[in-house]
Amino acid sequence: MDNRLKTSLGSWQLDNPVIPASGTFGFGYEFAQFYDLDQLGSMALKGTTKDPRFGNPTPRIAECAEGMINSVGLQNPGIDAVIANELPKLKQVYHKQAIANIGGFSVEEYAEVAKKFDAEEQIALLEMNVSCPNVSHGGMSFGTDPDCLKEVIRAVKAVTHKPVYAKLTPNVTDITVMAKAAEEAGADGISLINTLLGARFDLKTGKPIIANVMGGFSGPAVKPVALRMVYQVYEAVQLPIIGIGGIRSSEDVIEMMSAGASAIEIGAQNCVDPYACMKAIDGLIPLMDRLGIEQISDVIGRSHR
């Protein structure tokens, strides 16, 4: 791997900034049939909860002109099965550390999942999906209430030695309020954005295409929103940022890092092209040469300078 692509998330150094996003890459090993996974910067594993979850009723995917809507509902085998079965399978084909994405429906559930991942050497950092509904507070998302967000981050920080990144929902009035709350609670970094809220309707029947009516909208169409929010959060806090949202090319990687991201995650594009992450990595050095960029880390936050 070319040293020019090295970047860091806090004290963790990555060979390159490209990470498959949680939810679009399974637990990683499925993609080993396509390429050597060790070429990735890292990978964010499928969102994991305390108990196994079957997920939401089908249909739960709807295509859009420039993206997709999903309402998968955190389908996963639960933390114990992930540790017992998924991580060992991944270890056979991937020899770096990964990012665990954790979800929950109460503060206690987040803490329990975090504590179990804390013992796993394969996991470098914990990415908290705070878009989950908080059943103790009337179903409002953890990520839309600053006090709620602080409470859950503090609970997770109390049980882990690993860095904790808050994956923020864009479905708020002011993203910087949530980012500052995460920083105040002790978060080590910010991942953003999670999906926007969207819907599609069948032309013949007028009925919603998604069984739950609404779902998370992702894909190329959300990139300008993601760029704007990464830019705002970079100005608001002193934490490393993983930029997510509509990234599908080397050009998108450079643009997102210019806005302030230290690394990026590619999500929806993996559903379209299983080679998406490798194509983005392979195109970076030629693109950097064309743009006169020596080290990719040089572009982080350059839009602010």
Query: What percent of the chain lies above the pLDDT cut of 70?
Result: 100
Which H helix or E strand runs over 265?
Answer: strand 263-266
Whether residue 139 is predicted with pLDDT greater than 80 in this model: the reply is no
pLDDT at 77 over 90: yes
Residue 101 has pLDDT above 80, yes or no: yes
Average pLDDT for the chain: 96
Q: Among 139-148, 156-165, 264-273, whose mean pLDDT is lowest?
A: 139-148
Confidence check: pLDDT of 2 > 80: yes
User: Residue 236: is its pLDDT beyond 90?
Assistant: yes
Q: Are 238 and 260 in contact (CB under 8 A)?
A: no
Mean pLDDT within 258-277:
97
Strands (E) located in 43-195: 61-64, 67-70, 98-102, 123-129, 164-167, 189-192
The pLDDT value recorded for residue 1 is 77
Just list the catalytic residues: 132
- Interval 174-182 mean pLDDT: 98
Q: Residue 138 above 90 pLDDT?
A: no
- What pLDDT, on the 0 to 100 scale, is given for residue 135? 75
Condensed to tens digits (0 to 9), the pLDDT of residues 185-233 reads 999 999 999 999 999 999 999 999 999 999 999 999 999 999 999 999 9
> CATH homologous superfamily of domain 3-55+74-195+219-304?
Aldolase class I (3.20.20.70)
Separation between Cα atoms, residue 290 and residue 82, nearest integer Å: 43
d(CA 149, CA 67): 28
pLDDT in tens, 6-58: 999 999 999 999 999 999 999 999 999 999 999 999 999 999 999 999 999 99
Instruction: Quote the pLDDT of residue 163.
Output: 98
Higher pLDDT, 136 or 292: 292
In the 8-state DSSP scheme, what is residue 87?
H
Q: What confidence category does residue 271 fall into, taking pLDDT thresholds of 50, 70 and 90?
A: very high
Evaluate if residue 132 carries a pLDDT over 90: no
Q: Where are the domains of the chain?
A: 3-55+74-195+219-304
